[in-house]
Amino acid sequence: MHVHAILAAIPLERDAATPLFRQLYLRMKEAILSGAVQPTVRLPATRELGRLLKVSRQTVLAAYEQLMAEGYLEGAVGKGTFVSASLPAAARRSAPPDAAPPLVRPLSARGEAMASAMARVRHHDGPLRTFRMSMPGLDLFPFEVWRKLEARHWRRREVPLGYGGAAGHPPLRELLCAYLKASRGVRCMPEQIVITNGSQQALYLLAQLLLAPGEGVWLESPGYQGALAPFAVAGAKICPVPVDAEGMDVAYAAARYPDARMAFATPSHQLPLGATMSLARRLELLRWAEAKRAWIVEDDYDSEYRYTGPPLASLQGLDRANCVIYVGTLSKVLFPGLRLGYVVAPPALAAPLARAKAVVDRHSPIVPQAVLADFIQEGHFARHIRRTRDAYGERRIAMLEALDSRMRGLLACGPSDAGLDLCVGLMNGLGEEEAVARASAAGVDVRSLSYYVNPAAGPDCAVPPGMLLGFSAFTPAQIRAGVRRLEQALSA
The contact set with ligand PLP (CB under 6 A) reads 134, 198-200, 224, 226, 266, 271, 299, 301, 329, 331, 336, 341
Cross-sheet strand order for the sheet of 295-299: 193-196, 341-344, 324-329, 295-299, 262-265, 216-220, 237-241
Nearer to ligand PLP, 33 or 233 (CB): 233
User: Residue 295 CB, nearest distance to ligand PLP (Å)?
Assistant: 17
- The count of residues in the chain is 492
- Minimum distance of ligand PLP from residue 201's CB (angstroms): 7
Of 198 and 274, CB closest to ligand PLP: 198
Based on CB atoms, which residue is closest to ligand PLP, 297 or 349? 297
* Residue number with CB closer to ligand PLP (273 or 436): 273
Question: In angstroms, what is the minimal distance from the CB of 198 to ligand PLP?
Answer: 3
Q: Taking the CB of residue 61, how many other CB atoms lie within 10 A of it? A: 15
Instruction: Report the alpha-carbon distance of residue 309 to residue 386 in Å, rounded.
Output: 13
Q: Which helix (H) or strand (E) holds 254?
A: helix 250-256
What is the per-residue DSSP string for 182-229? HHH-----GGGEEEESHHHHHHHHHHHHH--TT-EEEEESS--HHHHH
Shortest Cβ distance from residue 463 to ligand PLP (Å)?
Answer: 16
Please state the closest distance from residue 350 (CB atom) to ligand PLP, in A.
Answer: 19
Q: How far is the CB of 44 from ligand PLP (least distance, A)?
A: 37
> Shortest approach of ligand PLP to residue 425 CB, angstroms?
20
CB of 226 to ligand PLP, least distance (A): 6
Closest CB to ligand PLP among 419 and 482? Answer: 419
Residue ranges in 276-379 assigned as alpha helix (H) = 279-292, 347-361, 366-377
* Closer of 198 and 346 to ligand PLP (Cβ): 198
Half-sphere exposure of 267 (CA within 13 A, CB side): 29
Q: Which CB sits closer to ligand PLP, 247 or 341? A: 341
Instruction: Decide if 53 contacts 100 (C-beta within 8 A).
Output: no
Whether 451 and 133 have beta carbons less than 8 Å apart is answered as no
Shortest gap between Cβ of 420 and ligand PLP (angstroms)? 9
Cβ distance to ligand PLP smaller for residue 329 or 478: 329
* C-alpha closest to that of 243 among 262, 259, 224, 228: 224
- What is the chain's alpha carbon radius of gyration, rounded to the nearest angstrom? 23
Closest contact distance (angstroms) between CB of 55 and ligand PLP is 38
Tell me if residue 440 falls in helix, strand or coil. helix
Nearer Cβ to ligand PLP, position 83 or 210? Answer: 210
Of 59 and 364, the one with the shorter C-beta distance to ligand PLP is: 364
Residue 192 vs 199, nearer CB to ligand PLP: 199
- Answer yes or no: are the C-beta atoms of 128 and 463 closer than 8 Å: no
Least distance to ligand PLP, CB of residue 25, Å: 27
Angle at 118 between CA 114 and CA 124, to 5 degrees: 150
Q: Cβ atoms within 10 A of the Cβ of 311, count?
A: 19
Question: Residue number with the shortest CB distance to ligand PLP?
Answer: 198
Q: How far is it, in rounded angstroms, from Cα 66 to Cα 328? A: 29
Q: Which is nearer to ligand PLP, 199 or 276 (CB)?
A: 199
Q: Are 13 and 21 in contact (CB under 8 A)?
A: no
Q: What is the DSSP string of 153-173?
A: HHHH--S--S---TT--HHHH
Contact (CB, 8 A) for 203 and 222? no
**C-alpha distance from residue 170 to each of 146, 190, 195, 441, 471 (Å):** 20, 8, 10, 48, 35
**Quick one: which H or E segment has residue 327?**
strand 324-329
Shortest Cβ 59–ligand PLP spacing (Å): 35
